[in-house]
Amino acid sequence: MKTLLIIDVQNDFMPSGSLSVPFGDTIVPVINSIQTKFDLIIASQDWHPANHISFAANHKGKSDFDKIELQGKTQTLWPEHCVQGTVGAEFHPDLDSNKFEAIFRKGTDKEMDSYSAFYDNGHLKSTGLSGYLKEKGTTKLYLCGLAADICVYFSAFDASKEGFTCFFIEDASKAIDEKAFIEIKDKMTTMGIKMVTSKSI
């Protein structure tokens, strides 16, 4: 089964959002245009409690994008974003969600960040996405969304480790740091993740 996984196309990641991805809104019509090419469409949604540990505002004396050590890993402190129940956490209003069969929320544990749609950053808690996709018979998994260099990348990494044949849709994704993403794409290619465009699907 050919499955599309749409990562975090939410208001707070749009150019006017609290954690904006440059030109993030430009991928919405691309994602809408490719949905008919898939047997199954799934989305992930960043869904943080207001007291989430990754928010700089919850650390006295710290600023947005500072780095701290958290449970043995380096943690970037982010602006408050995608807080549960807020407009910022909603999908972009122009994103066609009618064909979404399921939505997997992540980052719900206030003590642990979660970039991947499959696991938290410590790989301690599963979202259940891998089991769901395997139960549905997914073989080919196409990933797109925001941000390409963080949540899409970590989702693709975990999907590959879970045994799915993975494809990254380049023109349906945007990175926060395009220069850094060049190196990340090389890592993805080395892992066997194939680079495609919306027109080549």
* Residues with catalytic roles: 8, 106, 151
Tokens representing 17 are: 């959002």
**Half-sphere exposure at residue 154, Cβ-oriented, CA atoms within 13 angstroms:** 19
Q: Report the C-alpha gap between 182 and 151 in whole angstroms.
A: 15
Determine how β-strand 67-70 pairs with β-strand 73-76: antiparallel
Q: Which two tokens stand for residue 9?
A: 């196309």
For residue 49, which phi and psi values (nearest 5 degrees)? -70, 155
Q: What's the rounded Cα separation, in Å, for the pair 193 and 117? A: 16
What are the helix (H) ranges across 35-161? Answer: 129-136, 153-161
Range 107-123 burial, b when 16+ CB lie within 10 A, else e: bbbeebbbbbbbbbbee
